[in-house]
Structure 1
Amino acid sequence: MSPAAATTESSDVREKILATGQRIMGGKGFSAVGLNEVLAAAGVPKGSFYHYFGSKEAFGQAMLDAYFEDYLSDMDRILVQAGGTGSQRLENYFQAWQDNQSFEDCQGKCLAVKLGAEVADLSESMRNAMKRGTASIVEGMSRAIEAGVADGSVSIDQPPHEVAQSLYQLWLGASVMVKIVRDTAPFQQAMVTTRQILHLPD
């Protein structure tokens, strides 16, 4: 096997472990899932795990970093690359949020919601990964709000970053409530509040 092929295979195994962990831990939480369950589902021997990750905590940090990298890439496609006005792109983003943060099996797409409080108390490195990722989401949302203000489709009463921070906290809270009540009503209320904050038409 050539060095390039070996590197690709190594990267593929690492990504498979991360993706499997994200899917399982997105459903059950971090502490409730053992490494053996992740590795068995990924079809990877335990010895290979420690080739890529020094510990479960290091794996958790890498998993969160990978999750936010993918999330921010999807966010960029919706808020920057897509056409339409700023308000339309923001509405599409929050609609995608609703679609992905279901109270049913979210297939790992709700990792920040699922693990946020748990890992913040469990691990400083994982808390910092969560802090970096969520800060980047708020920054992306802030830029999208600025673009909406610039094209006249959005109107705000506070600075864009403060509005973005408030909206992120609103939707994060709504995502938790959706899981508690097993109903999407909190998302519907969050969208009503979002429209009011951004002065969007009903």
Structure 2
Amino acid sequence: MAVTRVETRKSLLDSARRIVAVKGYAAVGINEVLAEAGVPKGSFYHWFSSKDAFGEAMMEAYFDEYLTTMDAIVADKSKSSAEHLMRYWQNFYDLQAVNDCQGGCLVVKLGAEIADLSEAMRTTTKVGTTAIIDRLEQMITDGVADGSVSVDDSPRATGETLYNLWLGASMMAKVHRSPAYLDNAMTVTRHILHI
């Protein structure tokens, strides 16, 4: 069966994400991604005009998948909003606890690095993280409405605080190679949401 162009593009982005999640963005060259994906160099330049354009597309694809997962959690109408929130945080925990807490969140891995390297990637990451916080705000708002969650601040401020808490806890878990920081984030999250 022949590989389609769309599959080639996806293979490039998936390969890059795996490599970048381990090495960082600046340390990964296009040739390494091409070799991992098994794609000729000409195919790369068919899809991407530069490494920056490639990085931007990689981050967009990451956020598309991430937000789809969040939307699927909320779509489960058999669960309360509190259960949706805790399932989201458990997914976050599980993603970050893998590989001796080296995690798979590209925001944790690349946030500071790409903010200084590429304006396009910084903007893409800003849009993506804002969309995550928008969804958290809505889950918290729904939780307050259905009585499964109670917060002391606005749903927006609470969503921002929790997301920032988890990003920091994930970074510290990576540094110390210990899930204790993620465990603490889970405890604080339950406290903030009064769950």
TM-score normalized by structure 2? Answer: 0.95
Q: 1:36 aligns with which of 25, 31, 34?
A: 31
Q: Which secondary structure state, in structure 2, belongs to the residue aligned with residue 101 of structure 1?
A: helix
C-alpha separation in 2, matches of 1:185 and 1:108: 14
Residue 179 (structure 1) aligns with:
174
Contact 2:101 2:179 in 1 (8 A): no
Moved more, 48-57 or 108-117: 108-117
Does 1:81 find its partner at 2:76? yes
State how many pairs are aligned.
Answer: 195
Runs of 4+ displaced beyond 2 Å: 79-83, 105-109
Q: Which amino acid aligns with 1:21?
A: A
Structure 1 gaps of 5+ residues are 1-5
Contact 1:23 1:107 in 2 (8 A): no
Does 1:47 find its partner at 2:48? no
Q: Which amino acid aligns with 1:60?
A: G
C-alpha separation in 2, matches of 1:38 and 1:12: 15
Residue 55 (structure 2) aligns with:
60
Q: Cα RMSD over matched residues? A: 1.9
Residue 124 (structure 2) aligns with:
129
Contact 1:60 1:126 in 2 (8 A): yes
Q: Percent identity?
A: 51
**Pairing 1:110-129 to 2, within 5 Å after superposition:** 110-129=105-124
The superposition leaves residues 73-113 of structure 1 with CA deviations (integer Å, 9 ceiling, x where unpaired) of 00111133353111111111101101111352789831111
Q: Which amino acid aligns with 2:148?
A: S
Q: Which secondary structure state, in structure 2, belongs to the residue aligned with residue 168 of structure 1?
A: helix
C-alpha separation in 2, matches of 1:93 and 1:16: 27
Q: Which amino acid aligns with 2:68?
A: S
Residue 71 (structure 1) aligns with:
66
Q: Which secondary structure state, in structure 2, belongs to the residue aligned with residue 102 of structure 1?
A: helix
C-alpha separation in 1, matches of 2:108 and 2:71: 20
Contact 1:26 1:111 in 2 (8 A): yes
Contact 2:101 2:173 in 1 (8 A): no
CA separation of 1:98/1:144 partners in 2, compared to 1, >3 Å: closer, same or farther? same
C-alpha separation in 1, matches of 2:50 and 2:176: 35
CA separation of 1:105/1:186 partners in 2, compared to 1, >3 Å: closer, same or farther? closer
Contact 2:102 2:174 in 1 (8 A): no
The superposition leaves residues 1-32 of structure 1 with CA deviations (integer Å, 9 ceiling, x where unpaired) of xxxxx9x8111110110011011101110001
Contact 1:86 1:147 in 2 (8 A): yes
Residue 196 (structure 1) aligns with:
191
Contact 1:22 1:108 in 2 (8 A): no
Structure 2 gaps of 5+ residues are none
Q: Which amino acid aligns with 1:55?
A: S
Residue 3 (structure 1) aligns with:
none
C-alpha separation in 2, matches of 1:20 and 1:82: 35
Contact 2:133 2:159 in 1 (8 A): yes
Residue 21 (structure 2) aligns with:
26
Moved more, 74-83 or 43-52: 74-83
